[in-house]
Amino acid sequence: RPAPPLPSRPRVFTVSNQKGGVGKTTTTVNIAAALARFGAKVLVIDLDPQGNASTALGIDHHGDIPSIYDVLVEGKPLSSVIQKSTEEGELYCAPSNLDLAGAEIQMFSIDRREFLLRDALERFFNEPGNDFHYVFIDCPPSLGLLTINAFSSAREVLIPIQCEYYALEGLSQLLSTIEMINQGLNPYLQVSTILLTMFDSRTRLAHEVAADVRQHFPQQVLNAVIPRAVRVSEAPSYSQTVVSYDTMSVGSISYIEAAHEIALRGAPGAASTTTQEATH
């Protein structure tokens, strides 16, 4: 199968869901790793103080290692904190560290506090050599300044959904948050991608919730579904994504499939964006 095409301008995703433990981090690192295997240059920004994305990508993120905290609070360039992942291909990560837990309070008194990440990314893209195809921002589960910074930096939201009873309820909360962001901080932000994760095909509820989500969001939900699989949850303890830890496992194959779809679909409204720019 040929590798999917690379986007002509960087696609910036924020991976979010206000619920914890739904597969945000797992989705971030595995989609990123799969796209890197297709030949894309990919950056993962770890905005969660827990640093699980950094760990899963084999990135050192102990106390003194420069992190995204230095970018947001100290104004350091993004290029000064990124590290190359041990995964295959051109995969990089801006790690988080525990300092990030206190960052929101410090960011509060900084000028343009909602745009610190966006400004840093813009400077980063303008530096020579930073020809990235994809950026994925892994968010903490709360809706604080860190997540708001992610929302103002991205054009696309990738929502991982666990097919459980309250899935749709959480989703409508997230959608009204995005609507608010659209009216103020970032008119371009849109939910481009929804991925069903930790799918347990043996339960009827999972199938019902999946059908419900597909009915509400026919354009956004990927055909690929990520099954609940032990190999997926084992991989981080080897500082690896499941895509490199056990490439032929069902979890890995389904993440590669999902990444392939994301790449094939392209950025939403890419054609009309070009038209808009041409008229400016």
Binding site for ligand ADP (CB under 6 A): 20-26, 52, 197-198, 226, 228-229, 232-233, 236, 251
159 contact choice in Mg ion, ligand ADP, none (CB below 5 to 8 Å, kind-dependent): none
Q: Please state, in angstroms and as integers, the Cα–Cα distance from residue 118 to each residue in 9, 201, 224, following that order.
A: 16, 39, 30
Decide if 114 contacts 148 (C-beta within 8 A).
yes
93 contact choice in Mg ion, ligand ADP, none (CB below 5 to 8 Å, kind-dependent): none
| Closer residue to ligand ADP (CB): 48 or 156 | 48
229 contact choice in ligand ADP, Mg ion, none (CB below 5 to 8 Å, kind-dependent): ligand ADP
Give the integer Cα–Cα distance in Å for 186 and 260.
27
23 contact choice in Mg ion, ligand ADP, none (CB below 5 to 8 Å, kind-dependent): ligand ADP
| Closer residue to ligand ADP (CB): 236 or 268 | 236
> What is the smallest separation between the CB atom of 4 and Mg ion, expressed in angstroms?
26
237 contact choice in ligand ADP, Mg ion, none (CB below 5 to 8 Å, kind-dependent): none
H or E, element range at 227: strand 221-227
| Closer residue to Mg ion (CB): 25 or 83 | 25
Tokens standing for residue 194: 């929804």
| Closer residue to ligand ADP (CB): 7 or 170 | 170
| Closer residue to ligand ADP (CB): 120 or 253 | 253
Q: Which residue is nearest to Mg ion (CB)?
A: 25
H or E, element range at 253: helix 250-265
Give the integer Cα–Cα distance in Å for 32 and 26.
10
Does the footprint of Mg ion cover residue 61 (CB under 5 A)? no
> What is the smallest separation between the CB atom of 29 and Mg ion, expressed in angstroms?
10
Residues 9-38 that bind Mg ion (CB under 5 A): 24-25
Give the integer Cα–Cα distance in Å for 266 and 7.
7
| Closer residue to ligand ADP (CB): 23 or 49 | 23
Mind spelling out the 3-state secondary structure of 95-156? CCCHHHHHHHHHHCCCCCHHHHHHHHHHHHHHCCCCCCCEEEEECCCCCCHHHHHHHHHCCE
Decide if 241 contacts 212 (C-beta within 8 A).
no
User: Which chain residues interact with Mg ion by CB under 5 A?
Assistant: 24-25
